[in-house]
A = this chain, B = another copy of it.
Amino acid sequence: MSDAERNFLSDNVVPMADEVLAALAQANRDSVHSYGEDPYTERCTAALSTLFETEVVCLPVATGTAANAIALAAMTPPYGAIYCHDRAHIVTDECGAPEFYSGGAKLIGVTARDGKLRPEQLREPIELARESGVHHVLPASLSLTQATEWGTVYTPDEIRALADFAHQHGLRVHVDGARLANAIAHLGCSPAEATWRAGVDALSFGVTKNGGMAAEAVVFFDPRLAQDAALRRKRSGHLWSKGRFLAAQLLACVSDGLWLRLARHANAMATRLATGLAQLPDLHLVQRVEANEIFAHMPDALIHALRSEGFEFYLWPTPPGEAAPVVRLVTSYRTTPAAVDALIAAAQRHLRAGS
């Protein structure tokens, strides 16, 4: 087994899928107009409109951070508040990108043990903001992560309840869908059901973590929000002159259901791994595993033992009030059953030896 197979650090450590590489080669013919005025980009928008069963505005970019920041800036003024999970990627891992793109908006984090915000959690902070008038930033948007920060998945009903609450209070709804494919694969519903039909206004539709090279789409379900987003993309340096190579990746992923096939495999590997680990003594899953991330309490000794055998995974910040440490293991479209079983077997062996 190669080192690469023992790498459970993230779904972004793996290569792009063969189909994506082939699509790049396919798009690499002759001259086409630049800056997104090319047939690949046009087909990409059409394909995403078909996928979502509605006309969407689609702006391809290379990273999830860019997609999130552009979408949030389109719905949040500089003096606005973005409500989100307090461990959301936009809070902890984007070096202030939403603040930068919005011109200084404030992220207001809400704790959710299982990763899922509830409407009633938003009531108090929004009311406080309203009462404070001009002294407080203006409630402007809600950003949800799907699959969530803790590897769980919002149901369409849960999203709808949040979106309804948000809209009633004048907020727009964004979904960070870096792992939307894994969520949809879990839910078994249509992409439309889990997004705009549930009230989502804009989506970061990620494929980088799911077989892409570097491609995400900012997808606007409300065209008014999209109005100036193309200017924000250009201004932030995210409009590629050879835009075809972003579009080609997205096209490859959504064609023939590749994105769901890849995500289903990643999810299946996560389930296999979670099932194996859950049967071990002293190992506790932080949350049920619904996508391709496993968060588990793991004894220190076991962590060291597995790492010494070449398995790679992250220590994760422990939820407040819980026994440390927590590890995160991520599976991908490339994860092999053999690698999963090897990790479980190694853990079993070490726990047995340690007892």
Which residues of A pack against B, CB within 8 Å? Answer: 2-5, 7, 9-10, 12-16, 21, 24-25, 27-35, 61-67, 69, 77-79, 92-97, 99-100, 102-107, 128, 132, 134-138, 208-209, 213-214, 228, 230-242, 245-246, 317, 334
> In the complex, A230→B209 CA distance in Å?
22
Q: Please determine whether B30 and A4 come into contact, CB atoms closer than 8 angstroms.
A: yes
Q: Evaluate whether A234 and B15 lie within 8 angstroms (CB atoms) in the complex, with A96-B105, A128-B317, A242-B208 already known.
A: no
* Residues of chain B lying within 8 A (CB to CB) of residue A236: 66, 97, 100, 236-237
* Residues of chain B lying within 8 A (CB to CB) of residue A67: 237
> In the complex, A232→B152 CA distance in Å?
31
Chain A facing B: main interface SS = loop
Q: Please determine whether B28 and A13 come into contact, CB atoms closer than 8 angstroms.
A: no
Q: Please determine whether A242 and B16 come into contact, CB atoms closer than 8 angstroms.
A: yes
> In the complex, A236→B95 CA distance in Å?
9
CB distance from A205 to the nearest CB of B (A): 15
Known: A16-B245, A99-B106, A213-B242. 19 other contacts (CB 8 A): A13-B33, A13-B34, A15-B31, A21-B24, A63-B239, A65-B237, A66-B236, A66-B238, A77-B228, A78-B96, A79-B100, A95-B231, A97-B237, A103-B104, A106-B107, A209-B241, A214-B241, A237-B238, A238-B238
> In the complex, A254→B315 CA distance in Å?
38
Q: Please determine whether B94 and A104 come into contact, CB atoms closer than 8 angstroms.
A: no
Q: Please determine whether A29 and B12 come into contact, CB atoms closer than 8 angstroms.
A: no
CB distance from A20 to the nearest CB of B (A): 9
> In the complex, A236→B29 CA distance in Å?
31
Q: Please determine whether A13 and B32 come into contact, CB atoms closer than 8 angstroms.
A: yes
* Residues of chain B lying within 8 A (CB to CB) of residue A106: 96, 99, 107
* Residues of chain B lying within 8 A (CB to CB) of residue A233: 134
* Residues of chain B lying within 8 A (CB to CB) of residue A209: 241
> In the complex, A246→B96 CA distance in Å?
23
* Residues of chain B lying within 8 A (CB to CB) of residue A7: 31
Q: Please determine whether B242 and A100 come into contact, CB atoms closer than 8 angstroms.
A: no
> In the complex, A351→B4 CA distance in Å?
64
Question: Residue on B with the closest CB to A33?
Answer: B13
> In the complex, A69→B64 CA distance in Å?
20
Q: Please determine whether A9 and B33 come into contact, CB atoms closer than 8 angstroms.
A: yes
Q: Evaluate whether A135 and B28 lie within 8 angstroms (CB atoms) in the complex, with A79-B228, A241-B10 already known.
A: no
Listed A/B pairs (26) with beta-carbon separation below 8 Å: A3-B30, A5-B31, A12-B242, A13-B31, A14-B31, A15-B27, A15-B29, A16-B245, A24-B213, A63-B237, A63-B239, A67-B237, A77-B228, A79-B228, A92-B136, A95-B137, A95-B231, A97-B235, A99-B105, A99-B106, A100-B104, A102-B104, A104-B235, A134-B234, A214-B241, A238-B238
